Amino acid sequence: MIRDFQTKDIQQLLYIYNHYVLHSAVTFDDELLSLETFTEKANKINSEYPFIVFEENNQILGYAYGSQFRPKPAYKNTVESTIYLRHSAIRKQIGTKLYTRLIELLREQKFHIVLGVLTLPNEASEKLHEKLGFKKVAHLNEVGFKFGKWQDVGVYQLKLNLPLNITTNTRLL
């Protein structure tokens, strides 16, 4: 079930996030986040943007949210999207369901552009973004450093002013 984020979810979300801090370059954090830091971050995001979770049998299997792309006023209609899945819940279509719902919520809030910013390579995330109609618009070489090596970042963009048809991977006119 997909539902809105609640404060009671924090501990499970932090568990999911910190797994990626330790085991992946999908986040450029290199130290575990504390409960206090993560709570502050989650509450700030939730106060301004859609923040949803996928829950099954009282266990959070993933979460997704929108956040500020950049702080300048001209960017107010552009939002960055983020998604994390419990490492045991990958390849179960939860990411597709969460991201589809997040895009709907961002469209309802009248955002114009959604940007996914991904560490590359990341085949699963690249395929998810492409499946939902995002187009790769930038490849930034060696902009992050984690696990002793330089990391590339890709920027994927989705324009929200047209309905999305994920079965054909096309925008409806």
Task: Note the pLDDT tens digit of each residue in 125-155.
Answer: 999 999 999 999 999 999 999 999 999 999 9
Instruction: State the Cα torsion 156-132-119-29 to the nearest 10°.
Output: 110
Whether the Cβ atoms of residue 144 and residue 122 lie closer than 8 Å to each other: no
Q: What are the sequence ranges of the domains in the chain?
A: 2-171
Asked if omega into 73 is within 30° of 0 (cis), the reply is no
User: What is the SS3 assignment for 14?
Assistant: helix
pLDDT in tens, 27-44: 999 999 999 999 999 999
Q: Is it true that domain 2-171 has CATH number 3.40.1390.30? A: no
User: What is the SS3 assignment for 38?
Assistant: helix
